[in-house]
Amino acid sequence: MTVDKKKICGNCGLPSSIGKGNMWHANGVITASYPPHIRGTLYDIDELNALFPAISERIGFDITRLVVEGKRKDGKRYADSLARNIKEKGREPAPVEIYEMIARFCSYWGLGLVSVAEYVEGERLTLGVRNVYSEPMYMGDWSGVFEAMEKRRGDPRWRDEDVHDMIDVVAVEGEPELEVRIEQEIELGIPVDDEGDLQYRHCPECEVPLEISKQFSWDADDANIVERDSGKRFILHNTNGFAAVVRVLREELGDEIDGIITGISRDYAREYYQGIGGETSMDAELMKFPLRSWGRPTRLLRSNNGYGIRIANPYSSPVLAGRLWGLVETFEGRTFSLQVRGEEEGVLDLALNLQD
């Protein structure tokens, strides 16, 4: 696969299009620069990829299909809005133009290297792919893009089950019930409070906060965003699909799903923060949250028996609760119990109490 070399910011080294396409806001949220300003999150891929298999294992059934559906609707919404924006500028984009555009974006967002190999209008889209962040989720993303452009449901499959380098998205009849529900959830999105007082030092050339280029090596030519401290791969991807999957899981399985997710994220966070240890601190790690669109810490109270922590605009309350729990435990070197003290819209409020 040949991919054109991507333009790089001469000052900070990030791909130039990241600053053009995205805005880092003072409220702890990243959004696209273009309407409808869809929220994005910098996801830790190991955390994301560990989460869904671990949930499946705990609850005893495979939720992969649900995750793919969430991603499908996310991809559909994104492609729809991209096509709409081009139309509003007075031009009707051909589907293949949108596919090629999104393929290019995928390398910037770290999702994978992808190119359009074949296209039969209304019937089939074949993609050559490499270095994909998650096979089921990426298939979901692309089937949604196909659905938006062809107005038909796309069924994604590997061309060769043994060699995962080519995806065929084939038009099929829809399965409305689950799809309609997830689509409604995606449209609902997650509540965001515009207030915020974060101030970043921005790159004078591309406008991305300079802290991002310090924390990540961002190589669009390989679709690799790597966190320097941990060596972990990250992606910049839509927030709503993930939130919608968690909400549908909650409807199906009850509120206990939050506790399950939080427990899995806590285990992951302990391992993660033990791994980076050394040079960093709890405060320094908390300050990274808003830069990743995880939300904005607005309160950190320390007392003899624990912590009170509040996050405005969490991208996912159960995941962040677990992150914070494992973070505090690792830096304190002690065990805490967690109490989630009510989740108002757009706020996560936690009490962590020392266990003796």
List contacts with Zn ion (CB under 5 A): 9, 11-12, 203, 205-206
Distance of closest approach, residue 20 Cβ to Zn ion, in angstroms: 11
Pick the closer one to Zn ion by CB: 15 or 290.
Answer: 15
Pick the closer one to Zn ion by CB: 89 or 201.
Answer: 201
Number of helical (H) and strand (E) elements in the chain, helices listed first:
11, 14
Cis peptide before 297 (omega within 30 of 0): no
Distance of closest approach, residue 22 Cβ to Zn ion, in angstroms: 12
The 8-class DSSP code of residue 241 comes to: H
Distance of closest approach, residue 107 Cβ to Zn ion, in angstroms: 18
Rounded distance between C-alpha atoms, residue 231 and residue 141, angstroms: 25
- Is-contact 26 215, C-beta < 8 A? no
The 8-class DSSP code of residue 15 comes to: B
Pick the closer one to Zn ion by CB: 116 or 226.
Answer: 226
Rounded distance between C-alpha atoms, residue 18 and residue 218, angstroms: 10
Pick the closer one to Zn ion by CB: 213 or 238.
Answer: 213
**230: Cα separation from own chain's centroid:** 18
Distance of closest approach, residue 286 Cβ to Zn ion, in angstroms: 25
* Bridge partners, residue 307, by sequence: 302, 352
Rounded distance between C-alpha atoms, residue 60 and residue 56, angstroms: 6
Distance of closest approach, residue 214 Cβ to Zn ion, in angstroms: 11
Rounded distance between C-alpha atoms, residue 8 and residue 259, angstroms: 42
Q: What is the end-to-end Cα distance of the chain in Å, rounded?
A: 57
Pick the closer one to Zn ion by CB: 7 or 299.
Answer: 7
Distance of closest approach, residue 246 Cβ to Zn ion, in angstroms: 34
Pick the closer one to Zn ion by CB: 206 or 328.
Answer: 206
